[in-house]
C-alpha cells in the first residue's frame, strides 16, 4: 500500500489521534509551566519548608523515569483512593516531569538577572513581590525562553508515552494501525512526519516569536 492510499484509508484516525496529542501537549505545557514557576521560585525562597518541598519535587521527578511516574499516577494512586481518568493522568504526568526540568531553568534565569537590578528595586523601597513582578521576572523570562523552547519540544515527544495507558493519541492510533495491518513503514513514517511538523512548524516559530516580543518589550531588539 502506498503512502497516499494509506492516508486515504487511515488519515481520519490519525488526525483524531493528532488532535488528542495536541490537547495533551497544551494541557501538559500548562501544568509544566505552573509547576516550574512555583518550584523554581520556591527553590529560591528564604522559607526552609517551601525550599525543601521545591527541592524534593525537582529531585524526585528529575531523578526517576517518566514512564514509572506515569504508571504510578495512573495505576498506584488509585490504591490510595486517588483515581484519575487516563487522559488527565497522562498530561499531569508529563507536565510534572517536564516542570521539574523547567524549574531549574526558572531558578537559573532569576539568578542570572544582574544584581544591580535587585539593588535598584531595594534602593527605591520597592516591596519584594513588586520588585519580582515588575523588574526581575520580565528580565528572567527573556533569559529562560530559549531553553524553554527546547523543553517544550521534549514535552511534545514525551506525550507519546501516554499511549501506554491507552490514551488515544497519535502514537496509540499508530500502534493500533500497525498491529492490524503490519504497515510499519507507512504507520510510523506518518507519525514521525506529524511529530516533526508539530515541533518545527508550530512550537519553534511560536517560541521565536515570544523571544522577539520580549526583546522588544525590554528594548533589546
Tell me how far apart the alpha carbons of residues 112 and 143 are, in angstroms, rounded to a whole number. Answer: 8
Q: Which domain holds residue 213?
A: 3-217
Give the global pTM: 0.89
63/177 Cα distance (integer angstroms): 34
Asked whether residue 215 carries a pLDDT value surpassing 80, the answer given is no
Least confident of 4-13, 14-23, 79-88, 210-219: 210-219
> How many residues does the structure list for the chain?
221
CATH of the domain at 22: 1.10.3720.10
Judge whether residue 213 has pLDDT over 70: yes
Q: In which band, very low, low, confident or very high, does the pLDDT at 188 lie, cut at 50, 70 and 90?
A: very high
Q: How many domains does the chain have?
A: 1
In sequence order, the 6+-apart residues with CB closer than 8 A to the CB of 142 are 211, 214, 215, 218, 220
Amino acid at each position: 500500500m502506498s503512502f497516499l492510499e494509506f492516508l486515504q484509508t487511515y488519515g481520519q484516525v490519525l488526525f483524531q489521534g493528532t488532535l488528542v496529542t495536541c490537547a495533551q501537549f497544551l494541557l501538559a505545557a500548562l501544568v509544566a509551566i505552573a509547576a516550574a514557576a512555583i518550584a523554581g521560585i520556591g527553590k529560591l525562597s528564604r522559607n526552609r519548608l517551601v525550599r525543601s518541598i521545591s527541592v524534593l519535587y525537582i529531585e524526585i521527578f528529575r531523578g526517576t523515569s517518566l514512564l514509572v511516574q506515569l504508571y504510578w499516577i495512573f495505576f498506584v494512586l488509585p490504591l490510595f483512593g486517588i483515581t484519575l481518568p487516563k487522559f488527565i493522568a497522562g498530561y499531569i504526568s508529563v507536565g510534572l516531569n517536564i516542570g521539574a526540568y523547567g524549574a531549574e531553568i526558572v531558578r537559573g534565569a532569576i539568578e542570572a538577572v544582574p544584581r544591580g537590578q535587585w539593588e535598584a528595586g531595594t534602593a527605591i523601597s520597592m516591596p519584594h513581590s513588586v520588585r519580582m513582578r515588575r523588574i526581575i521576572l520580565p528580565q528572567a523570562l527573556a533569559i529562560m525562553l530559549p531553553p524553554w523552547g527546547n523543553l517544550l519540544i521534549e514535552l511534545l515527544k514525551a506525550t507519546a508515552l501516554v499511549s501506554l495507558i491507552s490514551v488515544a493519541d497519535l502514537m496509540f492510533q499508530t500502534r493500533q494501525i500497525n498491529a492490524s495491518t503490519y504497515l510499519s513503514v507507512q504507520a510510523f513514517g506518518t507519525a514521525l512526519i506529524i511529530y516533526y511538523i508539530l515541533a518545527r512548524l508550530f512550537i519553534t516559530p511560536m517560541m521565536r516569536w515570544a523571544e522577539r516580543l520580549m526583546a522588544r518589550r525590554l528594548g533589546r531588539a
